Structure 1
């Protein structure tokens, strides 16, 4: 499987982690979450979970109001809560 925009595939024979990393940066704020194949069962299921989380995160961040060109603290908390809830 190939990496996609904002989603990177990690598959290392010598590492303990195999799965997908979601990384989205907007106006200086970075949101990151790892989706393990072990937790979701298969690489396709972990990718599906990562894509769903990415879509939800983009919806929150892209529709948010900005103050001085930055995301508000409330928006950042919403994004972080979304990523920790899964």
Structure 2
């Protein structure tokens, strides 16, 4: 499996973590979440969950209001809620 935009594959033979990392930045705010293979039942399943979360966050961030060039607090809360629910 190969990394994609905003999704990076982590596979370390000597470490305990294998999975996907979602990382997206907008207007000075970065949202990051790890999707381990162990928790989601394999590489393909964790990728599917990560892609679902990424599309939901992109939907929130696309039409987001900006205050002084930064995302509004409400938008940040919505994106963080999506990441916490996954």
2:3 is equivalent to residue 3 of structure 1: yes
User: Once the two structures are superposed, what CA deviation does each residue of 1:41-60 show, in whole Å capped at 9, x if it has no partner?
Assistant: 11000000000000000000
Match of 2:55 in 1: 55
CA distance in 2, matches of 1:55, 1:7: 11
Which aligned segments of 4 or more residues in structure 1 are displaced greater than 3 angstroms?
A: none
Instruction: List gaps (5 residues or longer) in structure 1.
Output: none
Match of 1:85 in 2: 85
Aligned residues between the structures? 86
Instruction: List gaps (5 residues or longer) in structure 2.
Output: none
Match of 2:16 in 1: 16
Match of 1:76 in 2: 76
Match of 1:37 in 2: 37
CA distance in 1, matches of 2:39, 2:5: 22
CA distance in 1, matches of 2:44, 2:6: 16
Shift of 1:68: 1.2
TM-score by length of 2: 0.97
